[in-house]
Structure 1
Amino acid sequence: MAELSEAQQREFEAAAFRRLLEHLRERSDVQNIDMMNLAGFCRNCLSNWYRDAAAGAGVELSKEASREIVYGMPYAEWQAKYQRDASDAQKTAFEASRPKDH
């Protein structure tokens, strides 16, 4: 395995994160509840982690601002365009597998 400098590691992690965001923006058909049910995290989790990282660096970032960074648009706009009502099966699966902090 190649030895990476700390700077390279950060650069590659940032590039991978940007690619993840791009992918999630392209896949607006994938609902957050589906992501939660399958992987235990969703776009909102990513926005919370982003805001936590900013706070750790002493940067105040609102929930709305961090969501806009992740969604690529204001959250309310994304909801209006892409979010569908969760089915009973999706809700049941979520309740069975939801992380304790959600």
Structure 2
Amino acid sequence: MDTDLQTQIEAAAFRRLLEHLQQHTEVQNIDLMNLAGFCRNCLAKWYRAAAAEHSQTLSEPQAREAVYGMPYEDWKRLHQK
């Protein structure tokens, strides 16, 4: 498989994962951590690290907003148990 095509497929899968997690706010981070070994905050850290590998600077709040689909504090207030 061509590297560009693989990157496009991986990016599409990642976007689908983010969309799924944003739609299923009943799934708590602790549940994800216990079941999968990672949570939304981990994804935000990985997102930020990937940006840094491409010389792009993202703050922690910016990375979290990309993953949560809204500012983290708003998500916590609305959905965290």
Partner of 1:74: 71
SS at match of 1:80: helix
The aligned counterpart of 2:49 is: 52
Q: TM-score, normalised by structure 2?
A: 0.98
What count of residue pairs does the alignment treat as equivalent? 81
| Contiguous gaps of at least 5 residues in structure 2 | none
User: Which of 58, 69, 83 is the aligned partner of 2:80?
Assistant: 83
Matched residue of 1:13: which SS? helix
- Cα root mean square deviation, aligned: 0.5
Q: Residues of 2 paired with 1:46 and 1:69: CA distance?
A: 10
Query: Given residue 27 of structure 1, which amino acid in structure 2 is its aligned partner?
Result: H
- Which residue matches 2:39? 42
- Aligned-pair CA distance for 1:57: 1.0
- For 2:34 and 2:62, the matched residues in 1 are separated by 25
Moved over 3 A (4+): none
User: Which has the higher relative contact order, 1 or 2, with Cα contacts under 8 A spaced 6 or more apart?
Assistant: 1
The structure richer in helix per residue is 2
1:14 has 2:11 as partner:
yes
Q: Shift of the alpha carbon at 1:24?
A: 0.3
TM-score by length of 1: 0.78
